[in-house]
Chain A
Amino acid sequence: MSQKNIFYPFIVLLCLFGGTLFGQQTLTGTTTDETGETLPFVNVVIESLSIGTTSDLDGNYTFEVPNQENLEITFSFIGYASQTIPYTGQSTLNVILGEDTNLLDEVVVVGYGTQKKSDITGAVSIIKVEDAKKVPSTNIAELLRGKSPGVQVTLTDPSPGGSSSIVIRGISSFGGSDANKPLFVVDGVPQEDINGINSEDIKSMEILKDASSQAIYGARAANGVVLITTKRGKKGELKIAYHGYRSTQKLVRNFDLYSGDEWVQLRREAYRSESGRLNEDGWEEYEPDDFVFTPFQLDVLGTGKYINWEDEVINDATQQSHSVSLSTGSDKTSLFSSFSFFDQNGIIPKSGYARGTARLNLDHKVNDKFTFGTNIYLTADKTDRRSGSLNFITLPPLAKVFDDNGDVIRYPTGEIEKTSPLWNINESTNEFFTNRFQMTVFAQYEIFKNFKYKLNTSITRKSGQGGTYQTRLHSSATGVLGKATLSGSIDKDFLIENIFDYNLDINDNNRMDFTFVQGISKGSKEFSKTTATEFPNDLLGYNGIASAANILPVERRVVERQLLSFMGRMRYYFNDKYLLTLTARRDGASVFSENDKWGVFPSVAVAWKAHLEPFIQNLEFVDELKLRISHGSVGNQAIAPYTTLGLASAENYLFEGAVGGGYSPGRSLFNPDLKWETSTTSNFGVDFGLFKNFLVGNVEVYKASTTDLLINRTTPGSTGYSDILVNIGEVENSGVEVGLTANVIKKKNFEWSLSSTFSANSNKIIKLSDEVDENGNYLDDLSRRRFIGHPISVIFDYKYDGIWNSQEEIDGSHMPDSRPGDIRVQDINSDGKIDAEDRVIIHKDPDWYGSLGTNVSFGGFDLYAELYHVAGAIKYNNYLAGFNEGGSLQGVLNGIKVDYWTPENQTGTYPRPRRNEFPSNLGTTAISDATYTRLRTVSLAYHLPDIITKRLKLSDVTIYGTATNLVTWTDFLSYSPETTVGAYPDGKNFLFGIKITN
C-alpha cells in the first residue's frame, strides 16, 4: 500500500472538518429551474477534490473554491439533469438546471453486468428501494411486497427472525416452496436466502421475470431471479449515516373466541346431544352440570373467573434497530462499511431475535486496466424460539392460570393432557445461533481495448448452533429427568466465475457486446444433533449435556451439490432503436441422473424503441414507448441430492438387547432417470412514459409453460412406497402485469405521485402423466388433488350447503344417514347420494393482487402510504374444522366462535355440537374466502430544516413514523389473512425512527 493510502483516512478527516488550509476564492450564485423558480438543496460539488456545498432554501449558495487550475463544478439535483461547468475564477455563477426528462435511463444491474434501463429487452422490475425500506424489516422479502407486479410475497413465518415466501409469476413446480423459490443473487453471488442482509446496505433490487433476462442464470432461474446490489463507496469525503428505529407490535384479530359463559353453554350442548333422553319436543334433554363438567371445572364455574388465554400469554412485542454506515473514497480506493444491530421480542414471552451485521465493500483501482475489490459480510444472530404456534388460545376458559402464590399452575384446566403454555415456556430453553461469513473477491483486467476479463469468487460459511433444554418439569420431559438437544450445522459454499466481456462498436449505428461466463459452484450442508436425557439437575441447561446419564442416538447428515456452467450472451444495438439479445446457458448439476446432468437454456429477445421513430416523435405526449418481445427457456434443479441414486436409511433393530445395524429404503422410491424441469416463457412488454413523464409504466403479458415437471407422484400403498419423483407433465402460467406511476404534481416544494401494481396470473395443469382415459384426455392425480385444467393449489371437497334442520328434511334426501344439526353438502351430480363424485375443485390462488401507493413531499415532509389487495384467494381455515384447533365443536377446546346449530337455534350455520363426535364434512365449513385489502403502510417523515442541520454540521436529519397493517378488511377469520389463527401473526406495527447523515 502506498503512503498515500495509509494517510488516506486523515485526509478524509481533514476534508470533513472543512479545512481552509489552501488559498481560496469565494464563489456565489443562484440555482434556478427552467421556469425561473429558485431551486433549493442543489448539490454544488468539485468532484476531483471531494468538496462541495448545497444551495439554501432560496437557491443561493456560497462556495469556497481552492486556488487550483482546471477545476470543474458539478451542479446536481434529483430529477434534474446535472451540469458540470469548468471553473475559470469568476466570483458569481448562476445555473439553470433543466428537468431530467429521461428519468428512465438509469443504469440497471441485469446480471453479469449492467445495462441502461432504456436498453433492456426483457421483463425486469426495478424496485424503488427507498419506498420499500419505509417498512424496515429483517425479512427482506417483505421489502418486495407490492413493489413489483408479478411478485407475490406471502408471509410464511412472522415469528421473530421469520421469513416470507416469494413467488414470481405463479407456481411452476410441484416441489413445494423450495422448488418455487426465486434465485437470489447478491452482488453477483447466488445465495439461498437473503434474510441475513442488512436492508440498509441495499442500493438496488431488480427482479428478472422473463426467460430472456433469466436465461443468464439458466438452470436455477425458472422461478425468477432477485438481484440485490449493495452500496459501494464513492469518491468523496467520509459520509456517515445513522438509522435507528423502535417499534411496537400489537395483535389484532377479527374473530371472537367463546367467552367463559358461551363455552360453558357449548359444552352443555355437546353433552346434551348425546344424553339420549328426549323432551316433549323430541329433542335431547340437558345433562346435569355435575355430569358435564369435571369437579375442577365446576369449581371455576362457581367463581366465574374465566380465563382469556390470549391476555394471559400474549404481550405486545417491541423491536429496535440501529445501523451506521460509512462511505468514502479516493481516486484509487473507495470503501463502504456498515454495522447494524437489531433486536426483537416476540409476542410470546421469552421469544426473540437479535442480530448484528458488519459489512466492508472495498474497491481498488491499480491502474486504468486493472481493478479489484472485495466484499466481506458478517452476521451473527440469536433466536429464542418458543412455541411457533398460538394454539394455546384454544385452551378452555374454565381454568386457573396462577395459584394463590402467583406461581404458574402446571395443569390449568385440571387435566394432565393440557400443560399451561406459561409453564412450558418457563421450563424450557430453545436457542439458535447463526454465524455467517461471506467473502467475495473480484478482479477485472482489460486485456485489450474493449475486452475485459473478470474473475468473481466467493466463499460462504454459515454455522448454526442450536440448543434446547426442557427441565424435568416440562410436559415433554417428565419422567426423563430433563431433556437437551444440541445441534450444529455448517453450510459451505464456493463459487468461481470467469467472465469475459467484449464490446464491439462497428460504427455509430451498430454496437454489439458479448459476455461469456464459465463458472463452478459447490454447496454442502453438514448437520449433527445430539439428544440426551437424565440430567442430575436443571442448573446448566443444555450446556450441562456432558453430565447427562443417557445420550440418545446421534443424528448426522451431509449433503452436497455441485453445478458447472457456461453462459454466452450477445447484445446488439442497431441505430439505438432496435435491440437484440441472445443468451444461452449450459448447466450441469450433480443432483440429476448420470445421463441427464446437462441442460441447455437458450433465449432471444428483441426490443424497439418506438419513441425514437419520427412518427412517434411527432406525438407530443409520448416521451417513451418501447416494445419488447422475448422467448426462451430456463431450468429448475430443485431436487434433493442423491434422489437419483436410491438411498437406504438406517433402520436399526434390537435382538435381546443387542443392537443390529439395519438399513431399508425410505418412503420414496428412487428414480434413476431424473432430469431438469424446463420452463419456456414468451413475454410481451411495453414501457411507456407519457405527457412529460406524467404517467410512466409498463405492461407485461406472458405465458410460461413448464415441462418435464418434477412431480412427486403418490404410489399405490401396495407398492410399499409413498411416492416417487418423476419428470412428467406440464404446467402453464399465463398472466398480465401492470406497473403504473403517475407523477401528479412535481414542483420543487411539492411533489405528489401515485404508483400502483396489478398482477393476475392463471395457473393450469396441462398434463400429469402419460395415462389417458377412454376419451384420450390426460388423467388427474386424485390422491394428490391435482386436476388437469386446474391450478396446482386447489381444495377438493364436498360443497357446504347448510345444516339439516329436521328428520323430515333428511328422510328421502341424498344424505339419509344424517341427523338434524349435521352439515348438508351438495349432491353435485344429483344422483341422490353423496359419494366421491360430489366433491368439487376450488381454486386457492388469488384472481389478482395489487397495490396502490402514494408519495407526497411537501416542504420537509414526506408522506408515503400503501394499500395492498389480494382478490379471490381461498384458504382452508383449520381453526374452523380441526379438533386440535378447537373447530370440532365438542366442548373440549375453545375456538373461533361460530353460530352453531341447536334445536333452539335452527338458523345456525355450523353443525350441532356433539361431545364424542367429530362432525362429518366439517372441513367444508373451513373453506374461506381470504380476499383482503390492507392499509399496509402509512409513513410520515420530516426532514429537519437546513438551518438546524447546518448548525449541527449535518446534511440531513429525518425523523419518521411508520404504521404497518393499520387496517385490514377481510372475511377470513384470523389474526392475519395470510396465516391461520395458530400461526405466529403479523400484527399492527408502530414504528418510530430517525436517520442522520453528516
Chain B
Amino acid sequence: MKYIKLIMLLFFVSISFIACEEFLEENPKTDVSIKYLYENPEGLKAAVIGLYSVNRDHFHIYPHEGARAVWEHVQSDLVTPHAGYISIVALFSQSSSAPDQHGAWLSSFIWRDHYKVIDRANAIIQAAEKIEGMDETERQTVMAEAKYFRAHSLFTLYRFYNNVYVTEEATTPENVFDKVFAPSTKEEIFEAISSDLEEAIPNLEWTVPAGRVNQGLARHIRAKLALWEENWEVAAAQADTVINNGTFYLEEDLNKIFGHPSVAESYGSRNSSEALFVIQNEEGSAGAGPPTFINTNFMPRYDDVPGVKWDKSQGGRGFGFCSPNSYLFSLYESYDKRLDAYYQRYFYYNDEENMPDSVLTDNGWVYPKLGDAAEIVTSGSNQSAYQRRLTPGLLKMIDRNIAGEEAVSRANILRFRLSETYIVAAEAYMRMGNTGMATQRINPIRDRAGIQPLFSLSENELMKEQAREFAFEGQRFFFLKRIGKLVSQIQKYAGEDSYKNDARSNIKDRHINVAIPQSELDLLGAGYPQNEGY
C-alpha cells in the first residue's frame, strides 16, 4: 500500500518533468513574427503594405493637435498664426525653434517618422534581394515601392534638417548602436535619392489603385529633386514625361481636386485624375490609420459668432490655429477661381435660434438674415473677436464624411498632384531660359483658375503662382528655402501688418534649416554637427 502511493507520487512528479524545453517555448498567437515578414513572399508583400501605414503615421493627432503633420505648412509667408502649438511653430519663436526647447521635442517626431520609413524600407529592400520563391515582377514592385518611400523620406529629411545622413542598412540588434559621427554630404544625399528613384521608376506601373506608389509619382519626386540639384534638364524631362504620359491630367473643375462642399461627396476622397499621391484613410475601416486634426488647424472658429454654427458645407469644425493671411489673398485677382475653390472666405448665418438682430461691421450696423455672410468689425479692440473666428478657412483638408461639429478626421490627404509637376517644369524651363516652354507649363494652371496667361516667367511671378496654387499644401517652406527667399519673404509678409507678425522679426538665417533636436544629437556620435547658427 505504502509503495503504491509512493509510485503514484513519483509518477506525478515525473509528469511535471516531461517536455521541459517544449514547455518553455514561446508561440505568439495574435502577432506574426519578423522572420515570417521578411523571409516569406506573402510576408514581404504585407511588409510593404505596412510601409504605407508607417508612412501615414506621420499624419497623427498626437502631439499638440497633430502639429508635426503641418510643421512645414505653417513656416511660410502665407500664414497668420492665432493659437495652438502650431501657431508657435509659425512664429519661429525661441521655444519652437531652439534645439533644446519644446518645439524640438515636437520636431523629433518628424525626424523619427521619416527615419522609421527609411529603416522599414531598408529592411524590405534587403529582404527582397535575398528572398526565394517570389514572383520576379512582384519582387521588383516590392523593391520599387520601398525605394520610393526611402527616397521620399530622405528627401524630406534633407529639406527639413540639412545635416542628415544616408542609411541603407536595416537596423538590427547588432548594429543599432553603431555611431554616426558625420552627416552625409549634399551630393551623397542627392545621389542616394536619385538612384533609388531611378531604380524604382522602371518597375512601377503608371496606373495603380488610388493610394499606391506609381511611376508618375516617382518621376515627379525625381523632377523636384532635380530642382535641388539645379539639374534643370532632368527636372524638365521627368516632369514632361509625367505630363505627357496621359495617365494624369489636370482636373478641369478646381472644386473636384479637394472635394469642395459644392461637389459630390465622392470627390472628398481626393483621388482625382490630378492626384499623384494621396494618403488613404477611412473612419471605421480595418485599414484606417490614425486620426488627424489637419482640417481643424486651418478652419476658424466661426461657431463662436452668434448666428453661425458648425456646418460641414462651410468647412466643418475649426480650432482657428492658423489661417491664410492677407498677403496671400493680395496675390489673387478678384476673379481667380481658386479663391472659392481653395478657401472658405465667408461664413454664412445658419443658426436661426441664435440670430443677432443687428451687428456692427466695418461698414456700420447691419441687420443680418439667414444665409447672409457674417461680418463683424475686424480692427481695433474688436480684432480679437474677429481673428480666429471669421478669418478665412482652408478647404484643402476638409472631411466630407463627418458631421460639422466633429474635429477628429480621417479624411484622405492629397500629398502630390500633377499641377505641381507643371510648375516644376515651368521653373526648370525658366531656369534654362526657355520662356516658351516655361509659360506653356505654367499657363494651364492659370488658365484653369480663370486668370490671364503669362508671356514670360520671372522668379517673382513663379513665387506668386506657387503661393496661389499650393498655399498650405506643405511645399511653400521647401520651395522658398530652395530659391533662397524664405527669410526675406517671411520678414516682409508673415502674419498681418498689425497682428501676429512676430515671425517677421523672429526669423533668422539659421531658420532655413530646422534645428536637429538636441535629444537626437545626444544619441548620435559625438561631434555630429548641429545646423549652422543654432
Contact = CB atoms under 8 A, between A and B. Distances in A.
A478 interface: yes
A480 B410 CA distance: 13
Contacts of B108: 717
B173 A673 contact: yes
Interface in B69-102: 83, 87-88, 93-95, 100-102
Contact of A291 (B13, B25, B381, B406): B381
A720 B26 contact: no
Contacts of A656: 209-211, 271, 280
Contacts of A295: 385
B520 interface: yes
B403 A478 contact: yes
Interface string A615-659: 000000000000000000000000001101111111111111111
Interface in B430-468: none
Nearest to B280: A654
B212 A718 contact: no
Contacts of B319: 417
Contacts of A905: none
A714 B112 CA distance: 12
Given A553-B288, A662-B51, A916 B83 contact: yes
Interface stretch (B41-49, B255-263, B474-482): B41-49
A655 B523 contact: no
Contacts of B35: 646
Nearest to B55: A653
Contacts of B137: none
B29 interface: yes
A280 interface: no
B373 interface: no
A658 B520 contact: no
Interface in B173-208: 173, 176-177, 180, 208
A18 interface: no
B524 interface: yes
Interface residues of A, number: 89
A498 B13 contact: yes
Contact of B95 (A713, A720, A920): A920
A721 B171 contact: yes
A664 B9 contact: no
B16 A518 contact: yes
B173 A718 contact: no
A204 interface: no
A529 interface: no
Interface stretch (B114-122, B225-233, B236-244, B419-427): B114-122
Given A478-B406, A659-B285, A716 B524 contact: yes
A533 B20 contact: no
A715 B271 CA distance: 37
B489 interface: no
A479 B408 CA distance: 10
B287 A671 contact: no
B43 A659 contact: no
Nearest to A664: B50
A947 interface: no
Interface string A774-805: 00000000110000000000000000000000
A557 interface: yes
A562 interface: yes
Interface stretch (A176-184, A583-591, A925-933): A583-591
Q: Which of B120, B173, B301 has the most CB of A within 10 A?
A: B173
A201 B13 CA distance: 32
Interface string A494-512: 0010100000000000000
Contact of B176 (A416, A553, A560, A715): A715
Contacts of B304: 294, 414-415
B31 A671 contact: no
A718 B165 contact: yes
A994 B291 CA distance: 54
B24 A655 contact: no
Contacts of A658: 209, 287
Nearest to A672: B173
Interface string A416-438: 11000000000000000000000
Given A416-B303, A655-B210, A662 B46 contact: yes
A664 B53 contact: yes
Nearest to A520: B16
Contacts of B287: 652-654, 658-660
B367 interface: no
Q: By CB atoms of chain B within 10 A, which of A551, A644, A651, A724 has the most? A: A651
Interface string A658-675: 111111110001111100
Contacts of A663: 32, 37, 43, 46-47, 49-50
A548 to B, nearest CB: 11
Contacts of A835: 100
Report, as a range, how many residues of chain B touch the other chain.
35 or more
Contacts of A562: 23-24
A629 B385 CA distance: 75
A288 interface: yes
A455 B210 contact: no
- Max chain B Cβ within 10 angstroms of own Cβ: one of A455, A644, A647, A718: A718
Contacts of A655: 208-212, 280
B47 A591 contact: no
Interface in A259-304: 287-288, 290-292, 294-295
Contact of B520 (A288, A455, A716, A836): A716
A917 interface: yes
B17 A647 contact: no
A426 B520 CA distance: 45
B523 A717 contact: yes
Contacts of A533: 284
A520 B23 contact: yes
Contacts of B32: 647-648, 663
Nearest to A723: B176
Contact of B523 (A288, A597, A714): A714
Interface string B1-45: 010011001001100110010011111111111111100000100
A550 interface: yes
A654 B93 contact: no
A77 interface: no
Nearest to A417: B319
A883 to B, nearest CB: 9
A918 interface: yes
Contacts of A590: 23-26
A588 B24 contact: yes
A14 interface: no
A732 B56 CA distance: 44
Contacts of A917: 88, 93, 95
B24 to A, nearest CB: 5
Contacts of B93: 917
A648 B33 contact: yes
Best-buried of B24, B87, B405 by chain A (most CB within 10 Å): B24
Given A498-B16, A658-B287, A722-B112, 10 more contacts: A291-B384, A590-B26, A648-B33, A663-B37, A669-B176, A717-B112, A718-B180, A719-B119, A916-B88, A920-B94
17 contacts: A291-B381, A455-B9, A498-B16, A562-B24, A642-B31, A647-B32, A648-B33, A649-B31, A654-B281, A658-B209, A662-B46, A662-B48, A717-B520, A719-B115, A720-B118, A835-B100, A918-B102
Interface of A: 287-288, 290-292, 294-295, 414-417, 445, 447, 453, 455, 478-480, 496, 498, 518-520, 533, 550-553, 556-558, 560, 562, 564, 588-591, 597, 641-642, 644-665, 669-673, 713-722, 724, 769, 782-783, 817, 835-836, 916-918, 920
Interface of B: 2, 5-6, 9, 12-13, 16-17, 20, 23-37, 43, 46-54, 56, 83, 87-88, 93-95, 100-102, 108, 111-112, 115-120, 122-123, 164-165, 167, 171-173, 176-177, 180, 208-212, 269, 271, 280-282, 284-289, 301, 303-304, 319, 381-385, 402-406, 518-520, 522-524
Closest 3 CB pairs of A and B: A720-B119, A662-B49, A479-B406
